[in-house]
Amino acid sequence: MGAPMAANLASAGHEVRGYDVAGASAQGVAAHSSAPEVVRGADVVITMLPNGAILRAVAAEIFPEMQNGSVHLDCSTVDVEAAVDVAKSARAHGISALDAPVSGGIGGAANGTLTFMAGGDQGAFDTALPLFEIMGQKTVHCGASGAGQAAKICNNMILGATMVATCEAFALADKLGLERQKMFDVVSTSSGYSWSMNAYCPAPGVGPESPADNGYEPGFAAELMLKDLRLSQQAAEGVDAPTPMGALARDIYTQFVDNEDGLGQDFSAMLPRFSKMTRGD
Protein backbone atom coordinates (compact mmCIF):
# COMPACT_ATOMS: atom_id res chain seq x y z
CA MET A 1 0.00 0.00 0.00
CA GLY A 2 2.70 2.48 0.97
CA ALA A 3 4.75 2.12 -2.21
CA PRO A 4 2.10 3.25 -4.72
CA MET A 5 1.02 6.03 -2.36
CA ALA A 6 4.63 7.28 -2.22
CA ALA A 7 4.96 6.95 -6.00
CA ASN A 8 1.89 9.13 -6.53
CA LEU A 9 3.33 11.84 -4.27
CA ALA A 10 6.64 11.73 -6.17
CA SER A 11 4.82 11.86 -9.51
CA ALA A 12 3.02 14.99 -8.32
CA GLY A 13 6.36 16.72 -7.78
CA HIS A 14 7.04 16.15 -4.10
CA GLU A 15 10.48 15.15 -2.87
CA VAL A 16 9.84 11.74 -1.33
CA ARG A 17 12.26 9.58 0.61
CA GLY A 18 11.39 6.04 1.64
CA TYR A 19 12.40 3.15 3.86
CA ASP A 20 10.89 -0.34 4.01
CA VAL A 21 12.18 -3.26 6.06
CA ALA A 22 11.19 -5.67 3.27
CA GLY A 23 13.08 -3.64 0.67
CA ALA A 24 10.04 -2.44 -1.28
CA SER A 25 10.72 0.44 -3.67
CA ALA A 26 8.57 2.99 -5.47
CA GLN A 27 9.13 4.93 -8.66
CA GLY A 28 10.55 8.38 -8.00
CA VAL A 29 11.21 7.67 -4.32
CA ALA A 30 14.76 7.84 -2.97
CA ALA A 31 15.42 4.70 -0.90
CA HIS A 32 17.23 5.03 2.43
CA SER A 33 18.71 2.46 4.78
CA SER A 34 16.91 3.24 8.04
CA ALA A 35 13.80 4.92 9.41
CA PRO A 36 15.68 7.60 11.43
CA GLU A 37 17.71 8.49 8.34
CA VAL A 38 14.69 8.92 6.11
CA VAL A 39 12.71 11.22 8.47
CA ARG A 40 15.42 13.79 9.21
CA GLY A 41 14.46 17.20 7.86
CA ALA A 42 11.09 16.05 6.51
CA ASP A 43 8.05 18.30 6.84
CA VAL A 44 5.65 15.32 6.79
CA VAL A 45 6.47 11.72 7.69
CA ILE A 46 4.01 9.06 6.52
CA THR A 47 3.97 5.58 8.05
CA MET A 48 2.07 2.49 6.91
CA LEU A 49 2.62 -0.34 9.39
CA PRO A 50 1.08 -3.74 10.23
CA ASN A 51 -0.10 -3.26 13.82
CA GLY A 52 -0.12 -1.06 16.89
CA ALA A 53 2.94 -2.63 18.52
CA ILE A 54 5.08 -1.97 15.46
CA LEU A 55 3.67 1.56 15.17
CA ARG A 56 4.68 2.27 18.78
CA ALA A 57 8.17 0.90 18.16
CA VAL A 58 8.69 2.89 14.97
CA ALA A 59 7.34 6.06 16.57
CA ALA A 60 9.82 5.71 19.44
CA GLU A 61 12.59 5.36 16.87
CA ILE A 62 11.69 8.25 14.57
CA PHE A 63 10.17 10.94 16.79
CA PRO A 64 13.52 12.00 18.32
CA GLU A 65 14.85 12.46 14.77
CA MET A 66 11.93 14.46 13.38
CA GLN A 67 12.08 18.22 13.23
CA ASN A 68 10.00 20.36 15.55
CA GLY A 69 6.70 21.38 13.97
CA SER A 70 6.62 18.55 11.46
CA VAL A 71 3.64 16.23 10.97
CA HIS A 72 3.46 12.50 11.55
CA LEU A 73 0.79 11.06 9.26
CA ASP A 74 0.08 7.42 10.10
CA CYS A 75 -1.96 5.52 7.52
CA SER A 76 -1.79 2.17 9.31
CA THR A 77 -4.88 0.41 10.59
CA VAL A 78 -4.26 -0.18 14.30
CA ASP A 79 -6.14 -0.16 17.59
CA VAL A 80 -7.51 3.18 18.78
CA GLU A 81 -5.45 3.09 21.97
CA ALA A 82 -2.19 2.81 20.02
CA ALA A 83 -3.17 5.74 17.79
CA VAL A 84 -3.99 7.94 20.77
CA ASP A 85 -0.80 7.00 22.63
CA VAL A 86 1.41 7.64 19.59
CA ALA A 87 -0.24 11.03 19.06
CA LYS A 88 0.51 11.95 22.69
CA SER A 89 4.13 10.93 22.20
CA ALA A 90 4.34 13.00 19.02
CA ARG A 91 3.09 16.09 20.80
CA ALA A 92 5.67 15.55 23.55
CA HIS A 93 8.34 15.74 20.83
CA GLY A 94 6.89 18.91 19.31
CA ILE A 95 5.30 17.02 16.40
CA SER A 96 1.71 17.14 15.15
CA ALA A 97 0.03 13.78 14.56
CA LEU A 98 -2.76 12.38 12.42
CA ASP A 99 -4.09 8.84 12.42
CA ALA A 100 -5.42 8.46 8.88
CA PRO A 101 -6.16 4.87 7.88
CA VAL A 102 -7.31 4.26 4.33
CA SER A 103 -10.01 2.41 2.44
CA GLY A 104 -9.73 1.35 -1.19
CA GLY A 105 -7.16 -1.44 -1.24
CA ILE A 106 -4.08 -1.82 -3.42
CA GLY A 107 -5.96 -0.68 -6.51
CA GLY A 108 -7.06 2.51 -4.79
CA ALA A 109 -3.51 3.19 -3.65
CA ALA A 110 -2.16 2.75 -7.19
CA ASN A 111 -4.89 4.84 -8.79
CA GLY A 112 -4.91 7.61 -6.19
CA THR A 113 -8.55 6.92 -5.30
CA LEU A 114 -8.25 6.04 -1.61
CA THR A 115 -10.55 7.33 1.09
CA PHE A 116 -8.74 8.72 4.13
CA MET A 117 -10.40 8.98 7.53
CA ALA A 118 -8.30 11.25 9.72
CA GLY A 119 -8.10 11.93 13.43
CA GLY A 120 -6.02 14.70 14.96
CA ASP A 121 -5.76 18.47 15.25
CA GLN A 122 -7.04 20.78 12.53
CA GLY A 123 -3.65 22.35 11.82
CA ALA A 124 -2.05 19.00 11.04
CA PHE A 125 -5.03 18.07 8.89
CA ASP A 126 -4.74 21.31 6.90
CA THR A 127 -1.03 20.64 6.32
CA ALA A 128 -1.66 17.10 5.12
CA LEU A 129 -4.75 17.83 3.02
CA PRO A 130 -2.85 18.55 -0.25
CA LEU A 131 -1.12 15.18 0.14
CA PHE A 132 -4.42 13.42 0.81
CA GLU A 133 -5.79 14.96 -2.37
CA ILE A 134 -2.94 13.43 -4.39
CA MET A 135 -3.20 9.98 -2.82
CA GLY A 136 -6.99 9.73 -2.61
CA GLN A 137 -10.34 10.94 -3.83
CA LYS A 138 -11.99 11.65 -0.48
CA THR A 139 -10.75 12.68 2.95
CA VAL A 140 -12.85 13.11 6.08
CA HIS A 141 -11.55 14.78 9.24
CA CYS A 142 -13.30 12.57 11.77
CA GLY A 143 -12.27 14.31 14.97
CA ALA A 144 -9.55 14.10 17.60
CA SER A 145 -6.70 11.60 17.68
CA GLY A 146 -8.03 8.05 17.39
CA ALA A 147 -11.17 9.08 15.50
CA GLY A 148 -9.71 8.01 12.17
CA GLN A 149 -9.04 4.52 13.50
CA ALA A 150 -12.52 4.38 15.02
CA ALA A 151 -14.06 5.21 11.63
CA LYS A 152 -11.93 2.60 9.84
CA ILE A 153 -12.77 -0.12 12.36
CA CYS A 154 -16.51 0.59 12.12
CA ASN A 155 -16.39 0.75 8.31
CA ASN A 156 -14.56 -2.56 7.99
CA MET A 157 -16.82 -4.30 10.49
CA ILE A 158 -19.69 -3.43 8.14
CA LEU A 159 -17.64 -4.56 5.14
CA GLY A 160 -16.76 -7.92 6.69
CA ALA A 161 -20.34 -8.65 7.69
CA THR A 162 -21.79 -7.60 4.33
CA MET A 163 -19.27 -9.67 2.38
CA VAL A 164 -20.18 -12.76 4.40
CA ALA A 165 -23.87 -12.10 3.74
CA THR A 166 -23.26 -11.46 0.03
CA CYS A 167 -21.33 -14.71 -0.37
CA GLU A 168 -23.95 -16.65 1.58
CA ALA A 169 -26.64 -15.26 -0.69
CA PHE A 170 -24.82 -16.25 -3.89
CA ALA A 171 -24.26 -19.77 -2.54
CA LEU A 172 -27.94 -20.02 -1.62
CA ALA A 173 -28.96 -18.73 -5.06
CA ASP A 174 -26.80 -21.41 -6.68
CA LYS A 175 -28.56 -24.16 -4.74
CA LEU A 176 -31.95 -22.66 -5.58
CA GLY A 177 -31.11 -22.70 -9.28
CA LEU A 178 -30.95 -18.91 -9.68
CA GLU A 179 -28.32 -17.74 -12.17
CA ARG A 180 -25.64 -15.56 -10.61
CA GLN A 181 -26.03 -12.83 -13.23
CA LYS A 182 -29.77 -12.67 -12.60
CA MET A 183 -29.09 -12.50 -8.88
CA PHE A 184 -26.71 -9.59 -9.44
CA ASP A 185 -29.10 -7.78 -11.76
CA VAL A 186 -31.80 -7.84 -9.10
CA VAL A 187 -29.80 -7.24 -5.93
CA SER A 188 -27.49 -4.57 -7.35
CA THR A 189 -30.52 -2.38 -8.10
CA SER A 190 -32.65 -3.35 -5.12
CA SER A 191 -32.57 -3.12 -1.35
CA GLY A 192 -29.70 -5.62 -1.15
CA TYR A 193 -27.40 -3.06 -2.83
CA SER A 194 -23.99 -2.85 -1.13
CA TRP A 195 -20.37 -2.15 -1.97
CA SER A 196 -19.64 -5.87 -1.57
CA MET A 197 -22.21 -6.65 -4.27
CA ASN A 198 -22.00 -3.68 -6.62
CA ALA A 199 -18.32 -2.71 -6.61
CA TYR A 200 -16.52 -5.86 -5.45
CA CYS A 201 -18.80 -8.71 -6.47
CA PRO A 202 -17.46 -12.05 -5.16
CA ALA A 203 -18.89 -14.01 -8.13
CA PRO A 204 -16.47 -14.40 -11.08
CA GLY A 205 -17.70 -12.88 -14.32
CA VAL A 206 -20.47 -10.92 -12.63
CA GLY A 207 -20.47 -7.15 -12.14
CA PRO A 208 -17.35 -4.97 -12.40
CA GLU A 209 -13.99 -6.72 -12.51
CA SER A 210 -12.87 -7.79 -9.04
CA PRO A 211 -10.43 -10.24 -7.43
CA ALA A 212 -13.00 -12.98 -8.06
CA ASP A 213 -12.08 -12.64 -11.75
CA ASN A 214 -8.42 -13.28 -10.95
CA GLY A 215 -8.68 -16.47 -8.92
CA TYR A 216 -9.29 -14.46 -5.74
CA GLU A 217 -5.78 -13.03 -5.76
CA PRO A 218 -5.93 -10.52 -2.92
CA GLY A 219 -7.04 -6.97 -3.45
CA PHE A 220 -7.77 -7.03 0.26
CA ALA A 221 -6.55 -10.23 1.86
CA ALA A 222 -8.76 -12.33 4.11
CA GLU A 223 -6.18 -12.15 6.89
CA LEU A 224 -6.31 -8.33 6.78
CA MET A 225 -10.07 -8.41 7.06
CA LEU A 226 -9.67 -10.74 10.04
CA LYS A 227 -7.23 -8.29 11.61
CA ASP A 228 -9.73 -5.44 11.25
CA LEU A 229 -12.62 -7.50 12.59
CA ARG A 230 -10.53 -8.44 15.61
CA LEU A 231 -9.76 -4.75 16.13
CA SER A 232 -13.48 -3.96 15.96
CA GLN A 233 -14.26 -6.50 18.67
CA GLN A 234 -11.38 -5.32 20.83
CA ALA A 235 -12.75 -1.77 20.55
CA ALA A 236 -16.31 -2.95 21.22
CA GLU A 237 -15.25 -4.78 24.37
CA GLY A 238 -13.41 -1.68 25.55
CA VAL A 239 -16.57 0.46 25.43
CA ASP A 240 -19.09 -2.32 26.22
CA ALA A 241 -20.80 -2.06 22.83
CA PRO A 242 -22.89 -5.03 21.59
CA THR A 243 -21.71 -6.05 18.11
CA PRO A 244 -23.09 -9.56 17.50
CA MET A 245 -22.84 -9.39 13.70
CA GLY A 246 -19.29 -8.10 13.89
CA ALA A 247 -18.36 -10.85 16.33
CA LEU A 248 -19.88 -13.52 14.08
CA ALA A 249 -18.05 -12.15 11.02
CA ARG A 250 -14.81 -12.25 13.01
CA ASP A 251 -15.44 -15.88 13.98
CA ILE A 252 -16.23 -16.89 10.38
CA TYR A 253 -13.08 -15.22 9.04
CA THR A 254 -11.05 -16.78 11.88
CA GLN A 255 -12.21 -20.22 10.77
CA PHE A 256 -11.55 -19.39 7.11
CA VAL A 257 -8.04 -17.99 7.64
CA ASP A 258 -6.74 -20.13 10.50
CA ASN A 259 -8.32 -23.51 9.80
CA GLU A 260 -9.26 -23.58 6.12
CA ASP A 261 -7.59 -22.24 2.95
CA GLY A 262 -8.32 -18.55 3.36
CA LEU A 263 -4.80 -17.39 4.16
CA GLY A 264 -3.45 -15.54 1.14
CA GLN A 265 -6.81 -15.32 -0.62
CA ASP A 266 -8.97 -12.27 -1.13
CA PHE A 267 -11.60 -11.72 1.55
CA SER A 268 -14.30 -12.28 -1.09
CA ALA A 269 -13.14 -15.92 -1.44
CA MET A 270 -15.84 -16.61 1.13
CA LEU A 271 -18.06 -17.42 -1.88
CA PRO A 272 -16.28 -20.63 -2.96
CA ARG A 273 -16.03 -21.50 0.74
CA PHE A 274 -19.80 -21.35 1.19
CA SER A 275 -20.38 -23.05 -2.16
CA LYS A 276 -18.52 -26.14 -0.91
CA MET A 277 -20.39 -26.30 2.41
CA THR A 278 -23.67 -27.80 3.49
CA ARG A 279 -25.98 -26.53 6.20
CA GLY A 280 -24.50 -28.98 8.70
CA ASP A 281 -20.88 -27.86 8.17
User: Catalytic residue numbers?
Assistant: 152
d(CA 102, CA 86): 18
**What region, left, alpha or beta, does residue 224 occupy, with left being phi > 0 and alpha being psi -120 to 50 degrees?**
alpha
Query: 58: closest CA among 71, 44, 72, 79?
Result: 72
Cα within 13 Å of Cα(114), Cβ side: 26
Q: Report the distance separating Cα 260 and Cα 49, nearest Å.
A: 26
The strand pair at 96-99 and 102-103 is best described as: unpaired
List of residues 6+ apart from 231 with CB closer than 8 A? 77, 78, 79, 153
